[in-house]
Amino acid sequence: MSETIERQVAAEPSAARAAADGWLSAFETALSAGAIDAAAELFAETSFWRDLVTFTWNIKTVEGPAGVRDMLAAQLGATGPRGFTLSEEPAEDGGVTTAWFVFETEFARGEGVLRLKDGKAWTLLTAMTELKGFEEPSHERRPAGAEHGAAKNRKSWLEKREEEARTLGYETQPYALIVGGGQGGIALGARLRQLGVPTIIIEKNDRPGDSWRKRYKSLCLHDPVWYDHLPYIDFPKNWPVFAPKDKIGDWLEMYTKVMELNYWAKTTAKSARYDAAKGEWEVVVDRDGEEVTLRPRQLIMATGMSGKANMPKFKGMERFRGEQQHSSQHPGPDAYKDRKVVVIGSNNSAHDICAALWEAGADVTMVQRSTTHIVRSDPLMEHGLGALYSEQAVASGITTHKADMIFASLPYRILHEFQIPIYDKIREVDADFYRDLEKAGFQLDFGADESGLFMKYLRRGSGYYIDVGASQLIIDGKIKLKAGQVEEITETGVKLDDGTELPADLIVYATGYGSMNGWAADLISQEVADKVGKVWGLGSDTPKDPGPWEGEQRNMWKPTRVDNLWFHGGNLHQSRHYSLYLALQIKARKEGIPTPVYGLQEVHHLGR
């Protein structure tokens, strides 16, 4: 073959590139012409377009050509999408072409992931990355820092920071107020800081990170380090795979300082009301004994989906002679050596607390009231997370951001189909482990459709344990296990529905947490909480996630039915990833950018 022919062959695009280029070109042509039907016809009959703010000013998934048509009819005229360009070489695997691309709209720049089957879109993700004219001051736009030259009465960086801390909330008002200074509030605060949105974070604890430090002694992250980075600053290369709670607390405290966040510790929100005439909230807070009234435009509840304790109301609780506490209040095991402890619950916190109590010498019994999904940490890391969040993934070019985008590009409607084979494999490799657990009397499940941990988390936020050692204690009988329902609490213990009475000096209620709109009920009103509706869940019509199908996390990181009221939270991965999209929505409103919302959250459940 001649050198000329070789160059021509090398220059020819791959079939995957030709297919992706062709689809993006046809899509852009249709959008530019306002040909909504033509754009919709580019999607397969079974297809999913997930948009993170760019087209919908919402977090929304539409399904099939009809869903695409409806969304574009409402939004295309105000969006102005263009410049759809491949950002890397597409790939084809098993009849599916995957392509990464960038694009822009009238007001923003975005990125996306396209999957094609038989020439038509099967899945499409579009995600906003930045607002035009309001880009973050990073990389080539980073601030100079030092001000060269000379000027009289010039203020140093420290003097400017001290002035801001002294005046914000008093002489000037924040545009955004974040209630809750845990990982979610801190991540969002960092995003808003970089976007130039004056923000105050309020936190009831004494120091940033105390929401971790003050939990039970053995608490640690069950997710690996590659999954848990915060925005802008990754954990160091020598950071442990599973970080202990106090180490996470220290990291959050350092991060809050380094990222220059306006963080009000020892501060509790007492009341809030929205003044529609002024378009602002009036929030009364107690700042270390001083009552301060703040008037932000945007109010964000970042109090955590694992924040509002669900304390059960069992008959006879008031007559128990020993100690009773919710798992969130459990101080750790040290005071309970040689004491009898009953832990009601069988999910993550229950297992962690039981294991720590056993280590400290307590006589501990776990009461299992419903089936629980168990997965050991090692196979979960290998089969469940390894392809996206691991040292091997990093070495193969999967950055945390790319992993986040891949995960986000799989629509919730079909995500379980990708999860089922993972847990089938885990069940196979850990067959002996599961057999031994069942022999010990533990009641197992793998989710309503056998799809395992992640779907349980997304649907209900509970019902599972990532095993880091407690399961073997149950198998060995070192943690006693009793299945059944609580009939009543007696003076001396817990009576179950089969008549068994478990004596106890301490009862720990590892009974989970309520919907996040409960925080809105406490701070604002029950009427506002009901107007928002249930927070979290997909509408999968599985246990604790009632239908109808909604396709996205209810009321999280997006507009709610209450003007200028937002909810933010989730695990470290979600706090990192979705804080960007929430921050961009808030920044757009601050700058007066039109934000017509498509598919505002319906209210089907009050979440009480």
- 437: which residues sit within 8 A by CB, 6+ positions away? 374, 444, 471, 474, 475
CA–CA distance, 431 with 444 (Å, rounded to integer): 12
**CATH code linked to domain 15-131:** 3.10.450.50
pLDDT score for 8: 41
Report CA-CA distances (Å) from 104 to 69, 357, 403: 20, 55, 22
Phi, psi of 361 (to 5 degrees): 95, 15
CA–CA distance, 205 with 268 (Å, rounded to integer): 9
Q: CATH topology of 15-131 equal to that of 310-513?
A: no
Whether residue 566 contacts residue 301, with contact meaning beta carbons closer than 8 Å, is answered with yes
pLDDT score for 2: 47
H, E, C per residue of 93-129: ECCEEEEEEEEECCCEEEEEEEEEECCEEEEEEEEEE
Residue stretches of the chain with pLDDT short of 50: 1-2, 4-10
User: What are the extents of the domains in the chain?
Assistant: 15-131, 161-307+515-591, 310-513
pLDDT score for 391: 92
pLDDT score for 11: 56
CATH architecture of 310-513: 3-Layer(bba) Sandwich (3.50)
DSSP output for 376-424: EHHHIIIIIITTTSSHHHHHTT--HHHHHHHHHTS-HHHHHHHHHHHHH
pLDDT score for 499: 95
pLDDT score for 7: 44
pTM for the structure as a whole: 0.94
- Cβ atoms within 10 Å, residue 503: 13
Q: Which CATH number, 3.40.50.2300, 3.40.605.10, 3.30.450.20, 3.50.50.60, labels domain 161-307+515-591?
A: 3.50.50.60
